[in-house]
Chains A and B, each alone.
Chain A
Amino acid sequence: MTAQTVQQGDLVTVIGLEVHVQLETNTKIFCGCPTEPTEEPNENVCPVCLGLPGALPVLNEAAVESAVKIGKAIDADIPEETRFHRKNYYYPDLPKNFQITQYDEPICQHGELEISVEGQRRSVTIERAHLEEDPGSLQHVGGGGGIDSAEYTLVNYNRAGVPLMEIVTAPDFRSPAEVRAFLAELEEVLEYLGVFDAGRDGSLRVDANLSMISAEEADEDGTIGLEALEAANRTEVKNISSHKGAEKALVYEETRQKNAIQRGRAIEQETRHWDESRGITVSMRSKEEEKDYRYFEEADLPPLRVAGWKAEIAIPELPSARRERFQAEYDLSDEAASKLTSTKQVADFYEDVALEYDPDLAATWVADELLGELNYRDMEITDVEGRLEDVHRLVELVAEDEITAKNAKEVVLREMLDDGSDPDAVVEAAGLGKTGEDEVQQAVVEAIEENPDAVADHEAGEGGAINFLVGQVMQKTGGSADPGDVNQLLRAELE
């Protein structure tokens, strides 16, 4: 927003998020039913999560620990006392007719998360983050399967009571790309904390509020007054389930609102549903207003006093700090450091290798070769967790000059990943051990004898001739000689 002249009619996009993340606990938030998905419906249920009369919810300590870790990671306040509330609504995804959540005393308040968008660091304010239970899942059956035309509803409460953290940001985003960057960073942080699994189905769900505000309302640094924010009608886009989906949904919604405003139409304050398969948002029937939820204290759950846990519970170094340290400590580029800190497992493995061998070589091997080959196979580092020792050994072979980097990557690493082979066994079987000096010297002499034309060209000053001779030597040694060494040996021999 700096130094740009504001034209009349220019619009600024303003987005705020409510992000629901599933916490990785063994059991539900208020009962001991497992959170692990099962194939059959209504298997992981008990009187508490079915809302049967007289059942008493008891809070899962692990969910609270996760919440405190998140609070620490986003530098939030954990108040002395926090408590739970009932949010009342009539919908069969929760059998009690209310959801246990936290209303005005959430466990995390006033946090922030730094993101990087197009090389710019920015801090996003997190107003609050609170614990709550997930509802069950509904299937709308018959009549074409649409939510409106269905004949009946099937309800599965396996998910009901799974612990969620709802993270609410300030309306700090000015573009869908920023939202995507934030969600990616948030996922990384949560995975580092070990409280979240991005690969789990339905583990991330996002509601986004988007409004368009006249650029004249924005200050030079892009901040927009509360009054202007409240005056603008916003839409709440629901049903977003990934950071890529969030960007797509919000680009659509931004364009839709811009077009409406340019045609002189008013934006209706409403809830819209992101239809991923059609790539559009559609209006949903108006729902409850906040007062209709009749929040009140959950008397079955005594208050929580866990402010002191913040000092007791340790969290690992977070991705942004690790990225910066990698750049400083191992002299890595921003890009390499980002790749190498993308997950905690990758970063841990990199450090493991970098401490023993050249950090640059380690970076190439982990960020480019290993992650590249894994990505090609649609695999993650977690899929080869048990094989990292072998990859470590492979880097050792390269570092100690026992095989060429080319062979290590194109032969050994690929066979290791495709056939589960041991690196030393591949080197042995394929005869990749670097050829002895005598043998290379022998090949150099032969190449010179067999190619008088090339030798003549070289002596006549033709630069390409030496490369031809190097190629001949490489062929004779089955590619196991080091091309740089061969080049030197040839030059020495030809002098």
Chain B
Amino acid sequence: MSDDAVNPEEVRHVAGLARIDLEDSEVDRFAEQFADILAAFETLDEVPEVDRDADLANVMRPDEEHDCLETDRALENAPESEDGYFKGPNVS
């Protein structure tokens, strides 16, 4: 894969979508890393193609309630919470 597979503009665009601020120096570093990652995906070309199971369709469940997580358990892994809510930075 050539060096310019991912250009700095694309890195800035993707960072924008992910709402991440990048320094100029980081942009260059990520451009390289993105290129490496994409190159790694080319390994997949070597994997033989198989058809999916043709009979596997219409997997559905009846409209019945299950037990939910306790709110405390649901929030357990959240870095911050408040009054039962997940708490995060301002987003717009």
The docked-state distance in angstroms from the alpha carbon of A140 to that of B91 is 8
What's the nearest-Cβ distance from chain B to residue A92, in Å?
A: 6
Q: How far is the CB of A408 from chain B (nearest CB, A)?
A: 43
Closest chain A residue, CB of each to CB of B54: A303
Given contacts A31-B66, A33-B65, A90-B19, contact A42 B60 (CB under 8 A): no
> A45 touching B69 by the CB < 8 A rule?
yes
Contact (Cβ within 8 A) B65 A152: no
Number of interface residues of B (CB under 8 A): 32
Q: Which residues of A contact B90 (CB under 8 A)?
A: 140, 143, 150-153
Q: Which residue of A lies closest to B71 (CB)?
A: A42
* CB nearest to A60 among chain B residues: B63
Interface string of B74-92 (1 = CB under 8 A from A): 1100000011111111111
Bound together, the chains give a CA A157 to CA B74 distance in angstroms of 10
- Whether A155 is near chain B, meaning CB under 8 Å from some CB there, is yes
* Nearest chain B CB to A132 CB, angstrom units: 16
Whether A218 sits at the interface, judged by CB under 8 Å, is: no
On chain B, the residues within 8 Å of A27 by CB distance are 63-66
Q: Tell me whether B74 and A50 are in contact (CB under 8 A).
A: yes
Q: A152-B87, A152-B90, A153-B89 in contact; A46/B66 too (CB < 8 A)? A: yes
Within the complex, the shortest CB–CB distance from B22 to chain A, in Å, comes to 14
The verdict on A59 contacting B68 (CB below 8 Å), with A42-B74, A89-B17, A154-B85 known, is no
CB neighbours of A34 from chain B (8 A): 65, 68
A292 touches B17 (CB 8 A): yes
> Which residue of B69, B83, B89 contacts A41 across the interface (Cβ within 8 Å)?
B83
Q: Are B85 and A32 in contact, with the CB atoms below 8 A?
A: no
Q: Chain B interface secondary structure, helix, strand, loop or mixed?
A: loop
List of A residues within 8 angstroms of B91 by Cβ: 91-92, 138, 153
With beta carbons under 8 angstroms apart, the residue of B13, B56, B64, B88 that contacts A302 is B56
Q: A150 — which chain B residues lie within 8 A by C-beta? A: 90, 92
CB distance from B82 to the nearest CB of A (A): 6
A100 to chain B, nearest CB (A): 14
Residues in A neighbouring B75, C-beta threshold 8 A: 42
Query: Could you tell me the distance in whole angstroms from the C-beta of B9 to the nearest C-beta in chain A?
Result: 14
Task: Say if the beta carbon of A43 comes within 8 Å of chain B.
Answer: yes
**Interface pair A42/B86, CB less than 8 Å apart:** yes
B18 interface contact, C-beta 8 A: yes
Q: Please, which residues of chain B bring their CB within 8 A of the CB of A64?
A: 60
Q: Does B58 contact A (CB under 8 A)?
A: yes
With A42-B84, A42-B86, A155-B88 as known contacts, state yes or no: A305 contacts B57, CB within 8 Å: yes
Task: Say yes or no for B62: interface residue by CB 8 A criterion.
Answer: yes
A25→B57 CA distance, assembly (Å): 22
A435 is an interface residue with CB less than 8 A from chain B: no
CA distance A138 to B18 in the complex (A): 18
Complex partner residue of B57 from A62, A138, A154, A304, CB under 8 angstroms: A304
* Cβ of B11 to closest chain A Cβ, rounded Å: 14
Cα–Cα distance between A285 and B68 once the two chains are bound (Å): 36
Contact B86 A288 (CB under 8 A): no
Which residues in A have their C-beta under 8 angstroms from that of B57?
A: 81, 302-305
| Nearest-neighbor residue (CB-CB) of B60 within chain A | A61
Knowing A50-B74, A302-B56, A306-B58 are in contact, say whether A43-B88 is a contact too (CB < 8 A). no
CB distance from B26 to the nearest CB of A (A): 18
On whether A26 and B63 interact (CB within 8 A), knowing A41-B83, A45-B74, A90-B18, the answer reads: yes
Contact A285 B92, beta carbon cutoff 8 Å: yes
- Say if the beta carbon of A44 comes within 8 Å of chain B: yes
| Residue A449, interface by CB 8 Å | no
Q: What residues of A have a CB within 8 angstroms of the CB of B89 in the complex?
A: 152-153
Considering the chains assembled together, what is the distance between the CA atoms of A154 and B74 in angstroms? 14
Check B59 for interface membership: any CB of A closer than 8 A: yes
Whole-angstrom CA separation of A172 from B77 in the bound complex = 48
Q: Is the CB of B85 within 8 A of A42?
A: yes
Contact for B68 among A45, A153, A292, A301, CB less than 8 A: A45
A143→B65 CA distance, assembly (Å): 39
Q: Which residues of B contact A (CB under 8 A)?
A: 13, 17-19, 52, 56-66, 68-69, 71, 74-75, 82-92
15 A-B pairs whose Cβ atoms sit less than 8 Å apart in the complex: A26-B64, A32-B64, A34-B65, A41-B84, A41-B85, A42-B71, A42-B84, A62-B62, A89-B17, A148-B92, A153-B90, A154-B82, A154-B85, A157-B74, A301-B59
The 8 closest A-B pairs by CB, nearest first: A32-B66, A62-B63, A154-B85, A155-B86, A61-B60, A41-B84, A302-B56, A58-B61
Q: Could you list which residues of chain A lie within 8 angstroms of chain B, going by C-beta atoms?
A: 25-27, 31-34, 40-47, 50, 58-64, 81, 89-92, 138-140, 143, 147-148, 150-157, 285, 288, 292, 301-306
Extra inter-chain contacts (14) besides given A41-B71, A152-B88, CB under 8 Å: A25-B63, A27-B63, A27-B64, A27-B66, A41-B84, A43-B71, A60-B60, A60-B63, A92-B88, A152-B89, A153-B91, A154-B85, A156-B85, A292-B17
